[in-house]
Amino acid sequence: MNELDRQLRRRLTFAIISHPDSGKTTITEKLLLFGGAIHIAGAVKSGKNTRASVSDFMEMEKERGISISTSVMGFEYGGRKVNLLDTPGHADFSEDTYRGLSAVDSALLVIDSVKGVEDRTRKLCEVCRMRHTPIATFMNKLDREGKDPVELLDETERELAIGVRPVTWPIGQGRNFKGVYNLVERKLLLFVPGEVVKPSDVMSIADLADPLIDERVGASLAAKLREDVALLSGVYPPFETAEYLEGKATPVFFGSAINNFGIRELLDTLTSMAPHPTPKVSEERTVLPEEEKFTGFVFKIHANMNPRHRDRIAFLRVCSGTFERNKVYHHVRSGKPFRTANPTAFMAQDSEIVDLAWPGDIVGIHDTGTFKIGDTVTEGETINFKGIPSFAPQIFRYIVNADPEKEKQYHRGLDQLAEEGVVQIFSKPKQSNIRVIGVVGQLQLEVLQYRMEHEYGARCSYRHIESTLAHWIDSGDQKAMREFIEDNIRRILVDIRGTHIFMSDSPWSFERAKANNPAIRFYSTSEMVEDRDG
């Protein structure tokens, strides 16, 4: 086995996804705790503990207790190098989550056991299913009174269209929650509730018939556990790794992240069976991770991660070969050579310089404006990786500089945050001085104003636009395209790639425009336009 193959087998790159407030960021903290990356977990949205979450590094995230931007973290556990992405749960930041999912090989889905499967859960699983991304599931908040565990399994299987395979099973619920039983390893694990440091007192019981179980959890809960395990073995097939890797079934774990229940078993199982780096599809061909020549793509850009240095970082997923510090590579979009002296690996906002990165690794590149989201870097080959689209915005606003004395800061901030993907920026044909921003959700408008003021010293205000639907347009008939643009000039925008967009104020008006202009093609994502052009 050569060094590349050995490093491939060590890599585990996954994203944590969930509906908002399911406990996703808390689970991220606890995975880092058990992985030895931190020694005490932060408390998210805790009135008693002002310690901020490690993965929520933006001031606005800390103030609101929500994840606004995908965080990248790495640590060693169980003989594997774990690359973990904590993604935003809020629908307004779905593009950042979808881009994060393009850079991973598997996902961990967190479900609130009190609320069950929610809207964002369904949509995120649809994205994973489209990409055949394996999913593991963690039923969180068993320390609260919630839905019956069997009901949760049925709901997950029904709503997410995926087979469920329980790996651990809860002992009690709410105030009576005592721990979990591992159905695969046939052992019982009990923890001390409320522990905020890494637990050291873990008890293992090998046999369900052991009377010690009755002594530790009570006769009633012990009897319920034995009854549940007998039921599960008759209803659900045993867990098979192959089913999980093919995306046909999800292993299910139960626990309470805030109380450290079930996290160690989750991490142990993930590091033992989650996939190594997988092939990535480009427009030209499928790229295999074991190929000797380096390829990678930029899936995220973040400005001002360190406010003191006003830095801008491009996050690059290594797809094949090895990425070496100071080596000259090929930037496909520009056709120019590229070299970086200080590639970094991240623990949220903290970083360290790396000399070598392998497939599955996420590398931070200090960027002076060279990169855009979706850019490919290679050793010379021209390839373009798929799966990093821009989605049609649902809210549009004219944006105005609220402080004319800060014109330079205003334009720099707006351009950088647009390239980062916080918002999409459009211009009006023949009126390049008029700028329109488009977002998926209202909260993105607040984030833009907050970051413009706090990171660039510029203030902006918005003016309303009636249009709520947008579609990228193109045509094989350039004369028809020119005429359509002229006839609808008030409804046309141009994005930063120079692609035209048609805006409409209702589904009816869009369908009418579509029916009256058969030579024009309409697309809901920029990726579809790029595919058509290719």
| 93 within a domain of the structure (yes/no) | no
What is the predicted pLDDT for the residue at 46?
30
| 179 within a domain of the structure (yes/no) | yes
| 305 within a domain of the structure (yes/no) | yes
Helix (H, G, I), strand (E, B) or coil at 155: helix
| 244 within a domain of the structure (yes/no) | yes
Domain final residue, candidates 318, 344, 378: 378
Same structural domain, 419 and 372 = no
Q: Where are the alpha helices (DSSP H) in 111-210?
A: 119-130, 149-160
Same structural domain, 225 and 303 = no
Same structural domain, 126 and 251 = yes
| 81 within a domain of the structure (yes/no) | no
| 212 within a domain of the structure (yes/no) | yes
The amino acid that residue 242 corresponds to is A
How far CA 504 is from CA of 27, 493, 514, in Å, comes to: 42, 11, 11
Same structural domain, 362 and 419 = no
Domain final residue, candidates 322, 353, 378: 378
- The count of domains in the chain is 3
- In angstroms, the CA 113 to CA 135 distance is 17
Same structural domain, 323 and 440 = no
Q: What is the CATH number of the domain that holds 449?
A: 3.30.70.3280
Same structural domain, 343 and 482 = no
Q: Give the bridge partners for 290, in sequence order.
A: none
What is the predicted pLDDT for the residue at 202?
57
Q: What are phi and psi of 176, to 5 degrees?
A: -95, 10
What is the predicted pLDDT for the residue at 198?
55
Domain final residue, candidates 254, 273, 292: 273
What is the predicted pLDDT for the residue at 169?
93
- In angstroms, the CA 435 to CA 240 distance is 53
Residue 402 belongs to what domain range? 395-533
How many residues does the structure list for the chain?
A: 534
Same structural domain, 61 and 43 = yes
| 499 within a domain of the structure (yes/no) | yes
Give the number of other CB atoms < 10 A from CB of residue 518: 10
Same structural domain, 269 and 305 = no
Helix or strand holding residue 323 (H, E): strand 323-324
Same structural domain, 110 and 158 = yes
- In angstroms, the CA 271 to CA 12 distance is 7
Same structural domain, 58 and 145 = yes
Same structural domain, 285 and 256 = no
What is the predicted pLDDT for the residue at 61?
47
What is the predicted pLDDT for the residue at 29?
85
Helix or strand holding residue 481 (H, E): helix 478-487
Which tokens in the block code for residue 285? Answer: 């061909």
| 503 within a domain of the structure (yes/no) | yes
Torsion of CA 151, 156, 158, 160, to 10 degrees: 170
Same structural domain, 21 and 149 = yes
pLDDT tens across the length of the chain (534 residues): 799 999 999 999 999 988 878 888 888 888 888 877 654 433 333 333 334 444 444 454 445 444 445 678 888 898 999 999 877 644 544 566 777 888 999 999 999 999 999 877 887 888 788 788 999 999 999 989 999 999 999 999 999 999 999 999 999 999 888 888 888 888 887 766 666 555 555 566 777 888 888 888 899 999 999 999 999 988 999 889 999 999 999 999 999 988 878 888 899 889 999 999 999 999 999 999 999 999 999 988 876 655 555 577 889 999 999 999 999 999 999 999 999 888 888 664 466 888 999 999 999 898 887 888 889 999 999 999 876 656 667 788 999 999 989 999 898 888 878 777 777 888 888 776 788 888 877 777 888 888 889 888 999 999 988 777 889 899 999 999 999 999 999 899 988 778 899 988 888 999 999 999 999 999 876 654 444 444
Q: What is the CATH number of the domain that holds 173?
A: 3.40.50.300
